Amino acid sequence: MALAAAGRVLLQAGSRLGRREVVDGARRFANKRVEVEADEAAGIAVMKLKNPPVNSLSLEFLTEFLISLEKLENNKNFRGVILTSERPGVFSAGLDLMEMYGRNPAHYAEYWRAVQELWLRLYLSNMILVCAINGTSPAGGCLMALTCDHRIMADNPKYTIGLNESQLGIVAPFWFKDNFVNTVGYRTAEHALQLGLLFPPAEALKLGIVDEVVPEDQVHSKAQSVMAQWMAIPDHSRQLTKNMMRKAMADNLIKQREADIQNFVSFISRDSIQKSLHTYLEKLKQKKG
Ligand SMILES: CCCC/C=C/CC(=O)SCCNC(=O)CCNC(=O)[C@H](O)C(C)(C)COP(=O)(O)OP(=O)(O)OC[C@H]1O[C@@H](n2cnc3c(N)ncnc32)[C@H](O)[C@@H]1OP(=O)(O)O
């Protein structure tokens, strides 16, 4: 219920967004920050994250992304989505630090609800989600990938993936941790989370963070062929199996959703945490100069 209600709010917020065109028989609809190439005949859509410069998950991005996803979910012809970045090099820089720094508690609460919604919608999606990770993917970017059914990463040692929150002086929430533990196992997760490790593709593959590593120019074609394999499985049995595997973990967040928002607001509002974020943002700036 809570999930549906929050989704409706987001849908209303974005009802004015979006433009459509038809290209090569595939429908393309785009808002500012998400581009969707939707091939209704094939039942597959490619969702490209397009929030320059680094695809950070800002509130506006989350709103637009959720609206696009809902459009696909509501059209029963779509069975699979390939998630990728419009900007090769960076899949997503994760949560938008500017949404968590120097704002007021009401903003933090609104932002966190949208982050929860993104995770719940992706994690519980009935569609097949294949992630084509064509760039670096820290923290929230990694979490987005972890919600997918299959992850393919470009073989470029410059790209990394993982949950690096502790390096920022913040803590990955329990549902980030649960999703990670269920993917890589307890010991690996404990080690990687405490140190805030980011892994290059070969190591990410060894640990099971991603399922395949392929040459950079083959990420998209590989995603298409993996999607074809998954689509050969009857939807009803695949969906029931997915739900059986995932429902308990999602329910755990749904049940504690309001408390999780309050925890986030009080944690992120602390002076010490704001200071850590400030230091990290300064480091990002210095790296450039
Ligand atoms: C209870 C609390 C739990 C909260 C959970 C949080 C989970 C998260 O997702 S926290 C976010 C973690 N993300 C990161 O640590 C990534 C930080 N960014 C980078 O490491 C790099 O930007 C990059 C490797 C992704 C890309 O490097 P590149 O050289 O291409 O670009 P930059 O010059 O570093 O950045 C360009 C521009 O973008 C700003 N920026 C980068 N990341 C973020 C971000 N996550 N949120 C907001 N803004 C970001 C960066 O500061 C630059 O801005 P300016 O051009 O204005 O200097």
Do β-strands 128-133 and 80-85 pair in parallel, antiparallel, or remain unpaired?
parallel
Which pLDDT does position 15 carry in this prediction?
A: 40
Residue recorded with tokens 């190439």: 37
CA of 78 to the centre of ligand 1 (A): 32
Model confidence pLDDT, tens digit, residues 15-68: 444 566 655 556 777 789 999 999 999 999 999 999 999 999 999 999 999 999
Check if the interface score ipTM surpasses 0.95: yes
Which pLDDT does position 31 carry in this prediction?
A: 80
- Counting runs of H as helices and runs of E as strands, what totals does the chain give? 11, 11
The chain-wide mean pLDDT, for the chain, equals: 92
Whether the pLDDT of residue 266 is over 50: the answer is yes
Do β-strands 26-30 and 80-85 pair in parallel, antiparallel, or remain unpaired?
unpaired
Picking from 8-17, 255-264, 276-285, which range would have the lowest pLDDT averaged per residue? 8-17
Q: Work out the pLDDT band at 89, boundaries 50, 70, 90.
A: very high
Which pLDDT does position 27 carry in this prediction?
A: 75
Around ligand 1, the residues with Cβ closer than 6 Å are 53-54, 56, 90, 93-98, 136, 138-140, 164-165, 168, 170-171, 173, 264, 267-268, 284-285, 287-288
Cis upstream peptide for 105 (omega within 30°): no
Catalytic residues: 95, 140, 164-165
Give the residue, out of 103, 284, 286, 288, with the most ligand 1 atoms within 8 A of its beta carbon, to mutate for a pocket test.
284
Dist CA 51 CA 81 (whole Å): 19
Which pLDDT does position 125 carry in this prediction?
A: 98
DSSP letter at 131 equals: E
Give the pair of three-digit tokens for residue 126.
């009935």
Model confidence pLDDT, tens digit, residues 153-212: 999 999 999 999 999 999 999 999 999 999 999 999 999 999 999 999 999 999 999 999
| Whether the predicted model's global pTM rises above the 0.80 cut | yes
Which pLDDT does position 19 carry in this prediction?
A: 61
Dist CA 63 CA 210 (whole Å): 27
Which pLDDT does position 148 carry in this prediction?
A: 98
Whether the pLDDT of residue 9 is over 50: the answer is no
Dist CA 242 CA 127 (whole Å): 10
Which residues sit opposite 83 in a β-bridge? 47, 131
3-state SS, one letter per residue, for 61-86: HHHHHHHHHHHHHCCCCCCEEEEEEC
Whether the pLDDT of residue 130 is over 50: the answer is yes
- The most distant pair of C-alpha atoms in the chain lies apart, rounded to whole Å, by 53
Nearest residue (by CA) to ligand 1, atom 25, is 93
